[in-house]
Amino acid sequence: MTLPLDARQRAMLAAMGVKVWQPPAQSRVIAPQGLATAPITTPAPAPAPLAAPTVALKALPDGLADMDWASLAAAAAQCQACGLCETRQHSVFASGTSALSTTQTPWLFITDPPNTEEESAGQLLLHSEGELFEAMLQALGLAWEPSQVSVVPVLKCRVPDQRNPQPQELQQCRAFLARQVGLRQPQVIVAMGRWAVQSVLSAHAPDIAVQPLGKLRGQVYRFADTPVIVTYHPRSLLHTPLDKAKAWADLCLAHSLTRRP
């Protein structure tokens, strides 16, 4: 059963992102006199499947494993190792003051790739996402400053057209990520979001791409010999507030792995 909707109501639902069922177009055949003919429904053509974009790979910059923080950031800004460089406006190497600092940090948060607004700002976790993130840090007794917390994206470039990052793109950027971990030498890594988790844990399970994030929680993994905890991205928590309690449990697990005075 459906409710009758006028044009205004349909426009409001469309603005909210709610798909409204539309009756299929019908055509009628004029029947000979005296014979009734049922309307013939013209089936809509099936949508063509979306093809995965072709990912052209090139060599990574030389000497990544020996670069310092500033040199690594400069290399990321000029990297041509995958096609994301073609649509890149600016790279996002790290967020906040941690982008400039060279100090070690006990907590390293790895997030999903930057979106358009984050790319323009050169910062991660903007607005309500950042407020939620800082509130959770404060509950742990932490501050978002380089001596305590660093935040880096799993990809340093925005993925165009809001498409999913390709495995080859994540793999290419892992070299930058591994060097960031080596320079920061964190006590614990928190991977926040589906793509961060997929990249960081790709060595743990060949089918990591199809496993729900929720099923990966509650365990301690390792990346570059550093313990890793999986949790939700703050953007996801704003859409699904019931997961905030789960994210808090994840952060408490991560906290238990740090060396506290």
Residue 48, in any domain of the structure: no
Which residues have a Cβ under 8 Å from the Cβ of 249 and sit 6 or more positions away? 218
Give the pLDDT confidence score for residue 55 in this predicted structure. Answer: 62
Residue 54, in any domain of the structure: no
Give the pLDDT confidence score for residue 45 in this predicted structure. Answer: 52
Residue 68, in any domain of the structure: yes
Q: What is the pLDDT of residues 47-65, one digit of tens each?
A: 444 445 566 788 898 999 9
Q: What is the pTM of this model?
A: 0.77
Q: Which residue has the higher pLDDT, 75 or 6?
A: 75
Residue 88, in any domain of the structure: yes
Residue 112, in any domain of the structure: yes
Least confident of 39-43, 68-72, 209-213: 39-43
Q: What is the mean pLDDT of residues 210-222?
A: 92
The CATH number linked to 90 is 3.40.470.10
Q: What is the mean pLDDT of residues 231-250?
A: 97
Least confident of 96-110, 166-180, 215-229: 96-110
Residue 199, in any domain of the structure: yes
Residue 26 has pLDDT above 60, yes or no: no
Residue 77, in any domain of the structure: yes
Distance CA 31, CA 53 (A): 49
Give the pLDDT confidence score for residue 102 in this predicted structure. Answer: 76
Number of folded domains that form the chain: 1
Answer positive or negative: Cα dihedral of 81, 86, 90, 92: negative
Residue 39, in any domain of the structure: no
Residue 39 has pLDDT above 90, yes or no: no
Give the pLDDT confidence score for residue 87 in this predicted structure. Answer: 92
Residue 152 β-bridge partners: 110
- Residue 216 domain boundaries: 64-256
Which residues have a Cβ under 8 Å from the Cβ of 79 and sit 6 or more positions away? 60, 61, 85, 91, 156, 157, 176
Q: What is the pLDDT of residues 162-211, one digit of tens each?
A: 899 999 999 999 999 999 999 999 999 999 999 999 999 987 777 887 88
Give the pLDDT confidence score for residue 108 in this predicted structure. Answer: 97
